[in-house]
Amino acid sequence: MEQRDTGRQGPPAWAPRVDPGPLLPDAAPYRVLGTEAARAADPALLRTLHAELVRGRRFNTQVTALTRQGRLAVYPSSTGQEAGQVAAALALAERDWLFPSYRDTLAVVARGVDPVRALGLLRGDWHTGYDPRSERVAPLCTPLATHLPHAVGLAHAARLKGDEVAALALVGDGGTSEGDFHEALNFAAVWKAPVVFLVQNNGYAISVPLAKQTAAPSLAHKGVGYGMPGRLVDGNDAVAVHEVLTEALARARRGGGPTLVEAVTYRLDAHTNADDATRYRDEEEVAAWRAHDPVTLLERELTGQGLIDEAGLRRVAEDAEALAAGLRDRMREDPPLDPADLFAQVYAEQTTQLREQAALLRAEIEAEAEAAGDTPGEAAAGAPPDGGGGAAGEGVR
């Protein structure tokens, strides 16, 4: 509040620093599909979004199967949430940055990162799996919301340098209960950083429903408290999410500051492959959301407008199956592992302690190799005696 001294006795008069009206989200989530606005949408965009949604759904099912085979340590599926992830990736300009959370592997792939590299962290064979700088995609963030201040920092730095760059940070509804979320929003609004926060509200923070996390009218309303607009959108409507994010990113690039977007969606699968979702939700609830499936919604719009036929649908499905087959084949190959990499990416210049530890490990590996009759090179590469991996479950697809 701006305080003004009126010269009168008593407290000074005050007025809101910012009119909260324009910052408030709509009363209901914004939608395009199934409305007249869909007729005005770019047909090419509709087809692209649909193709990416189908690929994304197949990607989720394939990676889930690979996790059951032991090819990944864990996989947080985004089945049911593909619209937000695909729309986020496609709304970004080439120079923009994506800051994903652990459930946003699909967004990373849709951004153009090689699928196997995108799964590197969840596979457990590399620190990130891809080069964040060249891909302009931050590492997948497992700790809830800790990547949001990083997104603000990058966006603020770009603004100070005069670069036309925006950052898009993805987080779940559970992440909005973390302090990092609130710190990031506060700094972003004060600095007018060119960053957009996309909250994918899928109803549950693991097993905790949204009603037990917040009493706010919506998560989008939280933006008002920090002085930024809040937008509420149907998270299963890929066209609506793409439109809202495109507008928010354009606003950020031209100096308008941050935006908080809440996409209302639903996680059809369990939290991860280690979770039993039947303990905290019933099948009736899941079935109701399956009727609002993002792939079905967009496919219905395309066929209704005559923008795709059976042959087109078949081509999209075949392309998605080719993605899954390639991923399946490549993930069966055990990556070459070098234990020396443990020390390679810690500091730009290794410390004395790291050099000592690396030397100790190298000596142990060479001693084991000599005892086993292997060459030092074979042992240093970390190849297990049986080739590793095994073939258990390879018939599951």
Tens digit of each residue's pLDDT (9 = 90 or more) over 122-160 = 988 777 889 999 999 999 999 999 999 999 999 999 999
What tokens appear for 198 in the block? 């996309």
What is the percent of the chain with per-residue pLDDT over 90, rounded to a whole number? 81
Left, alpha or beta for 306 (phi > 0: left; psi -120 to 50: alpha)? left
Please say if 242 is a catalytic residue: no
Q: Active-site residue 271, yes or no?
A: yes
> pLDDT category, 391, cuts 50, 70, 90?
very low
The two tokens of residue 111 are: 């951004």
Query: Who's near 140: CB < 8 A, 6+ residues apart?
Result: 100, 101, 102, 104, 105, 108, 118, 121, 122, 128
Residue 79 reports pLDDT greater than 70: yes
Q: Read off the tokens for 63.
A: 């990676």
CA 337 → CA 66, 126, 342, distances in Å?
20, 9, 10
Average model confidence (pLDDT) for the chain? 91
Average pLDDT score over residue span 83-88:
98
Share of the chain above pLDDT 70, in %: 91
- By CB atoms closer than 10 A (0-12, 13-18, 19+), residue 3 is exposed
Mean pLDDT of the 178-192 span: 98
Can you give the pLDDT at residue 394? 33
Q: What is the pTM of this model?
A: 0.87
pLDDT tens per residue across span 36-68: 999 999 999 999 999 999 999 999 999 999 999
**Would you state the pLDDT for residue 11?**
67
Higher pLDDT, 127 or 74: 74
Catalytic residue among 280, 290, 315, 355: 280
Q: Note whether 359 and 366 are within 8 A (CB).
A: no
Question: 273, 68 in Cβ contact below 8 A?
Answer: yes
User: Is 150 a residue of the active site?
Assistant: no
Each residue of 313-367: pLDDT tens digit? 999 999 999 999 999 999 998 878 788 888 887 888 989 999 999 999 999 999 9
| Nearest Cα residue to 77 out of 214, 337, 342, 265 | 265
Reported as a single tens digit per residue, the pLDDT across 222-274 is 999 999 999 999 999 999 999 999 999 999 999 999 999 999 999 999 999 88
Is the pLDDT at 183 greater than 70? The verdict is yes
Higher pLDDT, 230 or 17: 230
Annotated catalytic residue within 58, 156, 242, 271: 271
What the block records as the tokens of 129 is: 């799996």
